[in-house]
């Protein structure tokens, strides 16, 4: 059977013109000029990054707390794995997230723990309509400096949001499953699959192979986004206020993706370091899962794919058991330990397990040379939680570590003690200054934390 239509199309294909690829520049001469001749050369040459790592259910504070202040401190029992990194980190006492407290909203400390951690704002208690907390520090920073990298920010986790039932005493699960908030009402969904994180950074293996057709593909992806952008604007004008807010989230997402594709087009292809193994899906072993996610964070910083990262080791109130540690009961369940020695000791094991993973990550960052130092030297990694004592849901004297030397702007190797209820967000503001952001306030953070530079 002959089909005339087919022939006609065959003919059309014959007209094909291949698109010329933009000339790729081997080097960036502009940057070397700046480095050599301008006063800017005094500024840290390497990019500064920030990461925020969250662990659930608080910690056994007596074992967490260091002894002594300033340079003369001794690590607590839980922190032994951090010893080799002593000179590259700071421990804090006295910091608080005031809005993690009920303040009239009743229970729900775990939902508040996650949602307040990086926002310093009181989440509005609701399980569906009118979700609202505050913009988180990582997203506020990404808003300002995110365009400098291919990904404005990266949000990681190990478990999806809970997908049935309520999460915590009348709070929507959005609150307990997200620490990164792009707007007060819009959480940034996190990626939990290491393979997909890798593909977000470097494209799918398919895409990497067919890099040749990539320019045309990107061009059409852009055209598609342009088109739906227009369609959305038209639709938006016919909607009520609440619906518009939803559609604005979508529009923002479209815009961000447009920018991302543009950035990819305009930047040199990324060299993936040779020793990197492409991760395959989600490992069953939790420790392995965590370490893969940490590796990806390190890779993201190393390749300057992003400078801002958040990572939830587990969702707030996680009731995971740790058979590998001999802890068969759930984490949240035993966190209400009522002074039971066995439970306290199991909880401490969990704290230590998480710290060990964190220490491995820091070691990895510290092994990556960059300029005269290491990637860790040019990073600021917050590790902590907005609950201290999980048994009583305390939101002050929080367990907070800041690792990395902020390009040499932080006098590390110290335990800093602040007056009770000093907002954790003040620390965040000090960090975003170092990232090159201009943020006056964020949540309840109105000032900079003093004494980060020299001995207070």
- Site residues for other proteins, window 59-98 (CB under 8 A)? none
Shortest separation between residue 18's beta carbon and other proteins, angstroms? 7
Would you say 34 or 259 has its CB closer to other proteins? Answer: 259
Cβ 184 to other proteins shortest distance, Å = 12
Work out whether 391 is an interface residue with other proteins (CB under 8 A): yes
264 binds other proteins (CB under 8 A): no
Residue 223 binds to other proteins (criterion: CB under 8 A): yes
Could you tell me the smallest distance in angstroms from the CB atom of residue 92 to other proteins? 25
- Output 39 or 339, the one with its CB closest to other proteins: 339
Q: Pairing mode, if any, of strands 181-183 and 186-187?
A: antiparallel
Name which of 138 and 377 has its Cβ closer to other proteins: 138
Q: Does the protein bind other proteins through residue 336 (CB under 8 A)?
A: yes
For residue 443, give the nearest of 112, 55, 110 by alpha carbon: 112
Hey, which residues between 181 and 210 contact other proteins (CB under 8 A)?
Answer: 182, 185-191, 193, 196, 200, 204
Of positions 67, 243, 265, 268, contacts other proteins by CB under 8 A: 243
Q: How many residues does the chain have?
A: 456
When binding is defined by CB under 8 A, the residue of 234, 277, 419, 438 that contacts other proteins is 234
Among 333, 447, 453, 455, binds other proteins (CB under 8 A): 333
Two tokens, residue 63: 């074992």
135 binds other proteins (CB under 8 A): no
Rounded CA separation 121/115 (Å): 8
Written as six digits, the tokens of 410 are 């932080």
Q: Which is nearer to other proteins, 69 or 143 (CB)?
A: 143
Among residues 63, 69, 214, 249, the one that binds other proteins under rule CB under 8 A? 249
Q: Which of 49, 99, 110, 125 binds other proteins (CB under 8 A)?
A: 125
By DSSP bridging, strand 373-374 and strand 181-183 are unpaired
Select from 62, 106, 273, 408 the one that contacts other proteins (CB under 8 A): 106
Please calculate the CA angle 204-206-210 and round it to the nearest 5 degrees: 120
Q: Give the containing element (helix H, strand E) for 155.
A: strand 154-157
The CA distance from 27 to 48, in Å, is 21
- Measured CA to CA, the distance from residue 229 to residue 186 in angstroms comes to 19
- Provide, rounded to whole angstroms, the least separation between the CB of residue 13 and other proteins: 5
The two three-digit tokens of residue 222, written as one number? 């852009």
HSE-up of 222 (CA within 13 Å, CB side)?
A: 14
Query: CA-CA-CA-CA torsion for 402, 407, 409, 415, nearest 10 degrees?
Result: 20
Question: Containing H/E element for 222?
Answer: helix 214-236
Contact flag: residue 330 with other proteins (CB under 8 A)? yes
């Amino acid at each position: 059977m002959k089909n005339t239509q087919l022939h006609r199309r065959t003919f059309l294909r014959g007209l094909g013109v291949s698109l010329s690829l933009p000339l790729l520049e081997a080097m960036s001469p502009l940057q070397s000029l700046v480095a050599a001749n301008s006063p800017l050369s005094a500024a840290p040459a390497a990019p500064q990054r920030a990461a925020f790592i969250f662990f659930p259910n608080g910690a056994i504070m007596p074992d967490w707390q260091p002894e002594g202040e300033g340079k003369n401190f001794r690590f607590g029992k839980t922190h032994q794995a951090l010893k080799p990194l002593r000179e590259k980190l700071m421990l804090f006492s006295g910091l608080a997230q005031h809005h993690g407290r009920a303040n009239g909203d009743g229970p729900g400390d775990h939902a508040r723990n996650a949602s307040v951690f990086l926002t310093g704002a009181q989440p509005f208690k609701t399980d569906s309509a009118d979700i609202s907390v505050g913009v988180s520090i990582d997203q506020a920073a990404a808003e300002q400096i995110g365009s400098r990298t291919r990904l404005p920010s990266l949000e990681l986790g190990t478990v999806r949001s809970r997908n049935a039932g309520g999460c915590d005493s009348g709070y929507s699960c959005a609150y307990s499953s997200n620490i990164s908030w792009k707007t007060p009402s819009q959480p940034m969904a996190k990626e939990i699959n290491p393979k997909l994180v890798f593909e977000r950074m470097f494209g799918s293996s398919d895409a990497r192979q067919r890099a040749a057709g990539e320019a045309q593909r990107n061009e059409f992806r852009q055209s598609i986004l342009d088109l739906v952008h227009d369609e959305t604007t038209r639709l938006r004008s016919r909607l009520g206020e609440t619906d518009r807010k939803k559609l604005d989230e979508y529009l923002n997402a479209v815009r961000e993706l447009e920018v991302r594709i543009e950035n990819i087009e305009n930047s040199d292809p990324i060299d993936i370091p040779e020793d990197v193994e492409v991760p395959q899906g989600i490992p069953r072993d939790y420790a392995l899962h965590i370490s893969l996610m940490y590796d990806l964070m390190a890779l993201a910083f190393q390749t300057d794919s992003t400078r801002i990262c958040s990572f939830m080791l587990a969702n707030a109130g996680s009731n995971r058991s740790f058979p590998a540690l001999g802890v068969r009961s759930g984490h949240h369940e035993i966190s209400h330990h009522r002074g039971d020695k066995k439970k306290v000791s199991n909880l401490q094991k969990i704290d230590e397990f998480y710290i060990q993973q964190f220490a491995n990550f820091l070691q990895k960052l510290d092994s990556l040379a960059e300029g005269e130092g290491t990637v860790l030297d040019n990073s600021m990694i917050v590790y902590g939680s907005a609950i201290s004592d999980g048994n009583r849901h305390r939101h002050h004297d929080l367990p907070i570590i800041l690792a990395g030397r902020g390009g040499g702007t932080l006098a590390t190797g110290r335990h800093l003690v602040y007056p009770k209820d000093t907002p954790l967000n003040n620390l965040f503001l000090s960090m975003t200054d170092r990232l090159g952001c201009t943020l006056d306030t964020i949540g309840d953070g109105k000032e900079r934390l003093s004494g980060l530079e020299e001995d207070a």
